[in-house]
Amino acid sequence: MSILDQPPSSSQLSSSSMAGGGMTRRQAWGLFWLLAAALVAWLVFAVWPDWLNAILISKKAFVSAILNGITLAGLYFLVASGFTLIFGLMRNVNLAHGSLYLLGAYIGYEVANRTGYWLLGVASGFIVLAAVGVVMQIFVFRRLEGDDLRQTLVSIGISIVAADLMLAVWAGGTYQIAVPEWLDGALTLPVITAVRSNGASVFLTYPLYRLVVLAAAIVIGVGLWLMLNKTRVGMMIRAGVDDRAMLSASGVNVHAVFAIVFAVGAGLAGFAGVVGGSALSVAPGEDVRYLLASLVVVIVGGMGSISGAAIGALLIGLAEQIGLVYFPTYGIVLTFVIMVVALAVRPRGIMGKAR
């Protein structure tokens, strides 16, 4: 495969056009986030005056919604980061990504249930799905290389068959992956939600497990960032994202890089499946749900960008939970409104680069 095989597309040629205005916009965003963070800090730690309680239902509801939004964002990030990595490098939208999530969850359930070790379930979710990802890359996507549309269509076909086969094996029941004792239960946070008439403070309690999910997402996000920016493989991946033809022309085994990315992406989906299946539950239909969530997250955040996935996940997670509390009727619609607005302002997403 040489560089001559690929005619320069419009996107590759115009890559420099957006760079000039990007910095100031980023600074503006930084300022915005700083102010928002200050406001949130006050909202979290201050004892609320009555008028605020009246507007926002209760402090408990508000703070919980924020925390839930952030922890849900952690889960979304885990799923979407794999999705965005695969897209960034291979330009194919893997619409079977949700199926990978669900399969990971089922496998995690089986392993955790039979061995009794939850961590073993999490690990197997990652490893088995990484293997599945490699198989998919080698036997399916590699054969259709260069034909984005057919790759996408094939992934739709795979997701339909996979969903039906999983229904055959695990039936339509709801599975819960039991969280180990040391992660279970609620944690009392140093956040006062209300003061009783006798002067005693009521503290906020929050599920420990969800905080662990958030921590895991942060650790994995940092790990991914380090891998992409500090390792040789990461260097190759970034080079591949920017110019795939150039990378292969310089003697790198592109197929190996593709396989690694697919393994990591699919493995992360499987990992997220087990983690998410423990926080919520595992049932048919979750595949579509998480596929849509990752779609919206990466459209908002910018395709192919890890930091974009993090920002997108945060926005969507918060919008979903805040929406659920304050305007439940249109909570789900809110996330799509954010998507359309993001597209209108930045067609390639918040962190998306023009290619």
Q: Is 146 helix (H, G, I), strand (E, B) or coil?
A: coil
The secondary structure element, H or E, covering residue 293 is: helix 286-301
Cα of first residue to Cα of last residue in the chain, in angstroms, is: 21
| 6: DSSP letter | S
Q: Is 252 in the site for another protein (CB under 8 A)?
A: no
Rounded CA separation 79/35 (Å): 29
Binds another protein (CB under 8 A): choice among 43, 245, 283, 307: 283
Rounded CA separation 212/110 (Å): 22
| Contact characters 59-88, another protein, x per CB under 8 A | -xx-xxx--xx--x----------------
**Torsion angles phi and psi, residue 143, rounded to 5:** -70, -20
Q: Which two tokens stand for residue 302?
A: 């910018």
CB atoms within 10 A of CB 303: 22
Q: Is 93 in the site for another protein (CB under 8 A)?
A: yes
Binds another protein (CB under 8 A): choice among 30, 157, 180, 223: 157
- DSSP letters spanning 313-334: HHHHHHHHHHHHHH-GGGHHHH
Q: Is 243 in the site for another protein (CB under 8 A)?
A: no
Q: Is 12 in the site for another protein (CB under 8 A)?
A: no
Per CB under 8 A, the segment of 38-46, 216-224, 266-274, 330-338 that binds another protein is 330-338
Distances (CA, A) of 262 to 153, 220, 323, 343: 17, 16, 34, 27
The minimum distance between CB 124 and another protein, in angstroms, equals 18
Q: Is 6 in the site for another protein (CB under 8 A)?
A: no
Nearer of residues 32 and 330 to another protein, judged by Cβ: 330
Q: Is 195 in the site for another protein (CB under 8 A)?
A: no
Q: Which two tokens stand for residue 58?
A: 């209760």
Residues 127-146 touching another protein, rule: CB under 8 A, are 143-144
Contacts of residue 36, defined as CB under 8 A and 6 or more positions apart, other chains included, come to none
Residues 161-190 touching another protein, rule: CB under 8 A, are 161, 163-165, 167-168, 171-176, 178, 184-186
The minimum distance between CB 40 and another protein, in angstroms, equals 16
Q: Is 116 in the site for another protein (CB under 8 A)?
A: no
Rounded CA separation 297/76 (Å): 8
Residues 294-323 touching another protein, rule: CB under 8 A, are 295-296, 299, 303, 320-322
Nearer of residues 254 and 318 to another protein, judged by Cβ: 318
The answer to whether 195 touches 261, Cβ cutoff 8 Å, is no
Binds another protein (CB under 8 A): choice among 18, 120, 123, 288: 288
Q: How many chain residues bind another protein (CB under 8 A)?
A: 84
The minimum distance between CB 191 and another protein, in angstroms, equals 12
